[in-house]
């Protein structure tokens, strides 16, 4: 029970890695605040956790909205009195679009969810954590945050930004009791796909040529969740500012 008497907030909790993560946190004793924009799926996840005896509450929120982010953090503190763990996991894809073909609306949307969302959450969570003496933040980055050939331009830029955000928080707040780390998955068996819409054919072909030649087998969501849970636990008490690949050796190729 590594998270007994602790409160964990997870975004993107209604499916994929986020769903596996809230299940693991609840199973190991945490009170969970599950956040997602998809209301029906979120309610199902929360009901499942509660039926298994877990402490869980849901919050429907758009993480790119500062007002919604403030509300989701208030949900944690008003329901459970504190916030020990923040996992910025929600994200969207970019249809594998190269920079010259990126519509401004696509750029704005991907950056808003994938980078501005984690920034807003960290900006509001850190003062709470400082007040209570510390906390842990784990950001879901990506292989695309380490290289240029695994997604389109908006997603790649957003995940490079998440890596920078992670290291900056670790630097500024590590001595004040806040650890911040990031996980970089490769392929994962989730429904994220290439995004909502028709992919850019040239971009998709170029990326898939790289992925198919070197990528390891896709991970199960539970495998990535276990890495995130490790970084959020006291088992990783000496780990801060780490950008940890969880990709079955893909980055080593």
pLDDT tens-place string over residues 96-140: 899 999 999 999 999 999 999 999 999 999 999 999 999 999 999
What are the tokens at 234? 């006291």
Q: Which residues are catalytic?
A: 155
Does some domain include residue 212?
yes
Does some domain include residue 37?
yes
pLDDT reported for residue 198: 72
CA 16 to chain centre: 11
In degrees rounded to 5, what are phi and psi of residue 142? 180, 160
Does some domain include residue 1?
no
Q: How far apart are CA 31 and CA 6, in angstroms?
A: 6
β-strand partners of 137: 86, 180
Three-state DSSP class for residue 98: coil
Does some domain include residue 32?
yes
**Which residues of the chain, if any, have pLDDT below 70?**
191-196, 200, 204-216, 253
Residues with Cβ < 8 Å from 228, sequence gap 6 or more?
17, 21, 87, 89, 138, 140, 183
Give how far Cα 31 sits from Cα of 120, 178, 199, Å. Answer: 22, 19, 39
Three-state DSSP class for residue 213: helix
Q: Say if residue 42 is exposed, middle or buried (CB neighbours under 10 Å; 0-12, 13-18, 19+).
A: buried
Does some domain include residue 249?
no
Q: What is the pTM of this model?
A: 0.94
Q: Which domain holds residue 184?
A: 7-244
Does some domain include residue 101?
yes
β-strand partners of 9: 33, 86
Give the Cβ contact number of residue 205 at 10 Å: 11
The domain that holds 121 is classified in CATH as 3.40.50.720
pLDDT reported for residue 215: 61
**Contact, 118 vs 165, CB < 8 A?**
yes
Q: How far apart are CA 8 and CA 225, in angstroms?
A: 13
Mean model confidence pLDDT for the chain: 93
Does some domain include residue 250?
no
pLDDT reported for residue 109: 97
pLDDT reported for residue 196: 65
Number of domains in the chain: 1
pLDDT reported for residue 253: 66
Does some domain include residue 141?
yes
């Amino acid at each position: 029970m590594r998270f007994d008497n602790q409160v964990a907030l997870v975004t993107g909790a209604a499916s994929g890695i986020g769903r596996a993560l809230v299940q693991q946190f609840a199973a190991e004793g945490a009170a969970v605040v599950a956040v997602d924009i998809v209301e029906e799926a979120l309610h199902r996840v929360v009901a499942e956790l509660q039926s298994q005896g877990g402490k869980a509450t849901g919050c429907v929120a758009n993480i790119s909205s500062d007002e919604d982010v403030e509300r989701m953090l208030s949900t944690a503190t008003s329901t459970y009195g504190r916030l020990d763990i923040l996992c910025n996991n929600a994200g969207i894809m970019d249809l594998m679009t190269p920079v010259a073909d990126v519509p401004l609306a696509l750029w704005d949307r991907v950056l808003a969810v994938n980078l501005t969302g984690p920034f807003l959450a960290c900006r509001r969570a850190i003062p709470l954590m400082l007040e209570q003496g510390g906390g842990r933040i784990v950001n879901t980055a990506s292989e695309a945050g380490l290289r240029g050939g695994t997604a389109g331009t908006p997603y790649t830029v957003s995940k490079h930004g998440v890596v920078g955000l992670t290291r900056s928080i670790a630097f500024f707040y590590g001595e004040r009791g806040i650890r911040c780390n990031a996980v970089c998955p490769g392929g994962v068996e989730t429904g994220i796909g290439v995004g909502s819409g028709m992919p850019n054919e040239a971009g998709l072909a170029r990326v898939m040529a790289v992925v198919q030649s070197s990528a390891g087998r896709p991970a199960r969501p539970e495998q990535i969740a276990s890495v995130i849970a490790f970084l959020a636990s006291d088992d990783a008490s000496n780990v801060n500012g780490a950008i940890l690949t969880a990709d079955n050796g893909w980055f080593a190729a």
